[in-house]
Structure 1
Amino acid sequence: MRTMLRAAAVGAAVTGLSLVPGAAQATPGGPGVTGTVLAQWSEAGRDYVLREITIPPGQATGWHYHDGTLYAYVRQGTLSHFDATCASDGVYKKGSFLKEPAGADHVHIGQNRGADNVVLEVLYVLPHGAPFSEDAPDPGCELP
């Protein structure tokens, strides 16, 4: 199974698969936002973690960034995604993929503006030992 997950992760990265939450929200994420680790391994100084993230209706991830690249697949619902200027950088419906680049210059928030849970399958490709995300202050802009 580990070999299959590695192959899936490499295949996703190679094909460009971009996997994976009113007013601006400060970090951390809203009530009920959960993450479950489905698989993880380390190789060549990187941690690969496959997680399922659930964002209830009306909730958000909180402002954050990642030390590595994330690839997300929207398994259920619609994710509205905004950058640190509060500009929309995508609305991702069920069956869509997104990629979140690494670095503090890529602060973002994901929101669930729908009536059903957003469920994401997210592959994190992180420097070994890095957290899933780094909290970022609310930039103070108003989300559309």
Structure 2
Amino acid sequence: MGARRTTTARPPVIGFGMSTGKACVTTIPAGHEIVIPPGGCTGWHYHRMRLEAVVLAGTLTRVLHDLTVEVHRPGTAFVEPAGTGHIHLGHNLGTEPVVLHVTPRLPEGTAFSIPTPAPSGATPEVCRQHPH
């Protein structure tokens, strides 16, 4: 397993998605509201279509396919690339819910995300591997 890099995301471009795990997806005009409770994790997944997101509350920590860690704070916007080459997970290491507004570019009724196995070098318990 290689060394992990930790970066703080800058507006306007990086990424997030949603899959299985402790999270709630609610349809709102022109997109979805994603809520990840404290301690919640999306699980490893990818998206078929590009997503655009804004963090409305809380701090989202993402682990990307290459095990890079990205931190997204309220007010940051980012883009989530599509495809199996962009698997990732998101989790909430904070004490307040993470709230995201996500605008997927996909047809109505299309699966929001596709669960996938962890990338090489990551464990299924990766959400517990990254302290505050």
TM range (shorter): 0.7 to 0.9
Residue 29 (structure 1) aligned with residue 17 (structure 2): no
- Distance in 1, Cα, partners of 2:43 & 2:20: 5
2:106 match: secondary structure:
strand
Cα 1:84/1:67, change in 2 over 3 Å:
same
Q: Which residue of 1 aligns with 2:9?
A: none
- Distance in 2, Cα, partners of 1:107 & 1:72: 16
- Distance in 2, Cα, partners of 1:105 & 1:58: 26
Q: Percent identity?
A: 38
- Of the two, which has the highest radius of gyration? 1
- Distance in 2, Cα, partners of 1:115 & 1:129: 33
Instruction: Please list, as runs of the form range in 1=range in 2, the aligned pairs for 1:120-135 lying within 5 A after superposition.
Output: 120-126=100-106, 129-135=109-115
Q: Match of 1:75, as an amino acid?
A: L
Q: Which residue of 1 aligns with 2:4?
A: none
Question: Does the Cα contact within 8 Å between 2:16 and 2:62 map onto a contact in 1?
Answer: no
Q: Which residue of 2 aligns with 1:136?
A: 116
| Consecutive unaligned residues in structure 1, runs of 5 or more | 1-15, 22-26, 40-48
Residue 38 (structure 1) aligned with residue 28 (structure 2): yes
Q: Which residue of 2 aligns with 1:51?
A: 32
Which residue, 87, 93, 97 being the options, matches 2:73? Answer: 93
Residues 32-80 of structure 1, C-alpha deviations (whole Å, 9 max, x = no match): x1010013xxxxxxxxx50000000011111100000000100000001
Q: Which residue of 2 aligns with 1:64?
A: 45
Question: Does the Cα contact within 8 Å between 2:51 and 2:81 map onto a contact in 1?
Answer: yes
Moved more, 128-137 or 118-127: 128-137
- Distance in 2, Cα, partners of 1:72 & 1:134: 18
TM-score by length of 1: 0.68
1:120 match: secondary structure:
strand
Q: Match of 2:116, as an amino acid?
A: A
Cα 1:113/1:38, change in 2 over 3 Å:
same
Question: Does the Cα contact within 8 Å between 1:73 and 1:98 map onto a contact in 2?
Answer: yes
Shift of 1:19: 7.6
Shift of 1:127: 5.2
| Consecutive unaligned residues in structure 2, runs of 5 or more | 1-11
- Distance in 2, Cα, partners of 1:17 & 1:91: 12
2:105 match: secondary structure:
strand
Higher strand share: 1
